[in-house]
Chain A
Amino acid sequence: MKASLLFCSTLALSTLALTSAPSGVLADTADLRVYTYDSFVSEWGPGPQLEQAFEQQCGCDLEYIAVEDGVSILNRLRIEGAGNKADVILGIDDALIEETRATGLLQPHGLDLGGLKAELAWHDADFVPFDYGYFAFVYDSTRVTEPATSLRALIESDASVIYQDPRTSTPGQGLMLWVKSVYGDAAPDAWKQLAGHTVTVTKGWWEAYSLFLEGDADYVLSYSTSPAYHQVAENKQQYKAAAFSEGHVAQIEVGAVTKTSANPELARRFLQFLVSPEAQAIIPVTNWMLPVIDGVELPNAFDSLIQPQRIGFTPQQVQDGRRAWLREWRSAASQ
């Protein structure tokens, strides 16, 4: 009886809390709809701050529609086709650019992107980059005192490594491109050698990263910006990204205007806003990636990050090679 009472009161309380919370029902009247991924719109992600700043500027109503991750944005577009609701898609990464373009659902942004950092070498007519980061192996400097200085050195060492599965995760695909661009045709041998001191290969980023933080490996595949999070949010200095002499592969997150947008001018304005100093100051400390323009004021932690040379493939090369490279990894790493 007591338990039932408890249960009923919980129910009543819950109803109260749920109805008093902000309504989840979407307004049909939004001026600008943006497809993006979940962590972008989470409370601590860049979404809410960017929305507020842009809405103040344009006097319009922006609405995010969030799906699980970057790949899901593309899949949703593929399923909906021309019936999609989006004016802007935000959060596809450069490796998926060609597949996304192939849907034929986008239109050129028509923006002058002369202000972007030179290292991005950005000339795409459809996609606008809004942040980027380099894939990097992160280590705990209290445990690893002499970190590897090149990808070759790491692969030839016996240091324990955790990375993510390229079949299920973006960083995993990043490493696949990295190994391929450093080793070329010798990639299978490199994978075999790496497999000898790989602790495990996880489904997604967080599994790998939390195993690493539990102390289960010397190195974990993550981003060059990861140490900034530990410094800014946790005031921990020991986590560092290893700078590799061959250079690093970048992940560039991009946005684009859909062909079916009812409000393409506003959509363009939003993309332009994303590369403005105001938005670029918000993104790094919420999405933990690097700004795409120079001269953005950031916490000191960002100054101490490694500044790698960029290597890798064009989106077109990635699209052409991905399937074969995945197979190569699969058969070499499972031996």
Chain B
Amino acid sequence: MAGLAGATVLALSLLLTALSFYGLIGFEHGGFDSSLLGDPYFHSVLRFSLKQAGLSALLSLLLAWPVARALYYHPGLPLKQGFLQLCLLCFTMPTLVLITGLVALLGRSGLVTPLLGEGWNLYGLNGILIAHVYLNLPFAVRALLLALQHIPDSSWRLAAQLKLGPWQRLCLIEWPALRNSLLPLFGFIFVLCFNSFAVVLALGGGPRATTLEVAIYQALKYDFNLPEALTLAWTQLLIAGGLFLLLARLGSTHWLGVDSARKPRTPRPSATQQQLHGLVYGAAWLFLLLPIAALLPGLLDADLIRFDWPAVLRPALITLFLGLGASVTALSAAYLMLTPIRRARLANQRRLTLALEWLATHTLVAPALVLSVGLYILLLPLVDLDRYGMLLVLLLNTAVVIPFAVQQLRPRLLQFDSQYDRLGRSLKLGVRQRLAIEWPFVRRACLATFGLVMLLAMGDVAIFSIFGNADWTTLPWLIYGYAGTYRLQEASVASALLLGLCALVLRIFERERQNA
């Protein structure tokens, strides 16, 4: 039963993508514009997209590593839980908020800029990298920390008996534990940065900094050149999708289930090391907090008393609802999608497992813009989108966050299978009984995943801009509405509200998770 439902959900998600591509291909004279592939402009755009994504992913990992080590060797660091929650918040930070924060901090009149010397210029590759590292370093920290925590106690006992030095411990114990998560992590961050767009343009300093997404946006919107858009979309799907397939082959990143209760028996670091770790930890706090703090002066300027609070109440609630709806659906869909994957895995069918996993996460690499515009073109003549558009906002947001849910739930469910599947079968447990055993095992992972996908869906503007309806304005869309009509102070107040709302949701879910 569950297997059938899982296969259906997988087929539905594939159908959604296929339909949107069909929408683009089927409209007027759709097709493939192969002349584009020889265009030097296209080459330079592709080169830049690859370069910035590669550098962003590399830097995020390199900088996250010492932070993760500090957290691992010092479980007693102050405010550790708060830091890990801040990490999640940063990962899902709306780009609008991030750009404003970074510019208030590091721009020409930024708060920190005077300390950076004459030659400092935020705009250019450094701006892009700072923003991308800000968004993805927190993600990497949590993932690497989790990988380190999987080092078995026996390894450390052995290391103590053999009197391994720090360098040997690093090479023989830490590295093998990290190795498996490094490549998938790199790939994941790479894909996220590869698809980045508004941040790249705003901080890139000029048209040299153009990613494939800009070209897709231009083709779809300003030129309404569907063959060109399709060609670009296929390219993106091929590159990002290929990389992602490679990533799926190499394993999966599991980073939400940070387990703070368990204190590993790590060797006691020396006093110098302790100081160094404390320093790294403090620096990470500063790095993540400063851009948020830089927004405060702007907030103080705004007239909070005269601010039209009722105007933001409804959008805020709609945003919460949208987030809740998308995360409930995405979580259920992800769970069902994982059923055939788990079966294939238990039956040792490697290729099938890989194919199914790719299917379940393919909406991560398909450009969201292409998905929504394709469906829009297909559905506009068929369905009254002015009436039912919000359903599509919900549906597409769900589709876009499903890969995150699949990725987060997968390791825990596979672990369950490897520990209890045999037992369950030998005891001839029914579906209900199995679920009753499974639930306590996956509950914490579920709650953490729920919070993450809810935050991601709450930040959406790309999908809403196409299917949304002015009567159902969400908070992020309202922020853009304010910002687009001179009301930048209102925009910053609404941004703060959105950020606060995200933090609140995060707290609720993390607290539930810890109590679970």
Contacts and interface: CB of A to CB of B under 8 A. Distances in A.
B201 A214 contact: no
Nearest to A173: B222
Nearest to A169: B222
Contacts of B210: 334
Contacts of B313: 17
Interface stretch (A6-14, A242-250, A272-280, A296-304): A6-14
A78 B466 contact: no
Nearest to B311: A43
A10 B217 CA distance: 37
Q: Which DSSP category, helix, strand, loop or mixed, fits chain A's interface? A: helix
Contact of B488 (A10, A80, A206, A331): A206
B339 to A, nearest CB: 27
Contacts of A309: none
A238 interface: no
Given A17-B314, A64-B470, A206-B488, A78 B224 contact: yes
B170 interface: no
Given A200-B203, A206-B483, A209-B486, A76 B103 contact: no
A38 B488 contact: no
A313 to B, nearest CB: 17
Contacts of B222: 71, 167-168
B511 A198 contact: no
B262 interface: no
A113 interface: no
A331 B480 CA distance: 30
Contact of B317 (A14, A65, A168, A214): A14
A28 to B, nearest CB: 9
A52 B218 CA distance: 36
Contacts of A210: 100, 103, 483, 488, 491
Interface in B407-448: none
Nearest to A20: B314
Q: Which DSSP category, helix, strand, loop or mixed, fits chain B's interface? A: helix
Interface string A236-259: 000000000000000000000000
A288 interface: yes
A105 interface: no
Interface stretch (B4-12, B140-148, B276-284, B374-382): B374-382
Interface string A67-79: 0100110111011
Interface in B469-514: 469-472, 480-481, 483-488, 491, 508, 511-512
Contacts of A41: 470
Interface in B169-211: 197-198, 201-208, 210
Nearest to B41: A330
Interface residues of A, number: 73
A203 to B, nearest CB: 4
B354 to A, nearest CB: 37
Interface stretch (B62-70, B83-91, B104-112, B160-168): B104-112
A236 to B, nearest CB: 11
Contacts, number: 162
A26 interface: yes
Contact of A7 (B376, B377, B483, B508): B508
A331 B206 contact: no
A220 to B, nearest CB: 12
Given A79-B27, A334-B207, A168 B218 contact: yes
A226 B380 CA distance: 36
A79 B380 contact: yes
A206 B484 contact: yes
B508 A201 contact: no
B488 A213 contact: yes
A211 B386 contact: no
A217 interface: yes
Contacts of A4: 512
Contacts of A6: 508
Contact of B107 (A165, A211, A233): A211
Contact of A45 (B208, B214, B485): B485
Interface string B363-391: 00000000000001100110000110010
B420 to A, nearest CB: 27
Contacts of B487: 44
A216 B470 contact: no
Contacts of B324: 11
A115 interface: no
Contact of B469 (A24, A45, A207, A333): A24
A214 B318 contact: no
A24 B317 contact: no
A41 to B, nearest CB: 5
A211 to B, nearest CB: 6
11 contacts: A3-B515, A17-B314, A18-B317, A24-B472, A26-B386, A42-B481, A64-B470, A168-B214, A214-B110, A215-B108, A334-B207
The 4 closest A-B pairs by CB, nearest first: A24-B471, A215-B109, A206-B483, A167-B218
Interface of B: 27, 41, 44, 99-100, 103-104, 107-110, 123, 197-198, 201-208, 210, 214, 217-218, 221-222, 224, 311, 313-314, 317-318, 320-321, 324, 376-377, 380-381, 386-387, 390, 465-466, 469-472, 480-481, 483-488, 491, 508, 511-512, 515
Interface of A: 1, 3-4, 6-7, 10-11, 13-14, 17-18, 21-26, 38-39, 41-45, 64-66, 68, 71-72, 74-76, 78-81, 83, 85, 160, 165, 167-168, 195, 198-207, 209-211, 213-217, 226, 229-230, 233, 288, 327, 329-331, 333-334
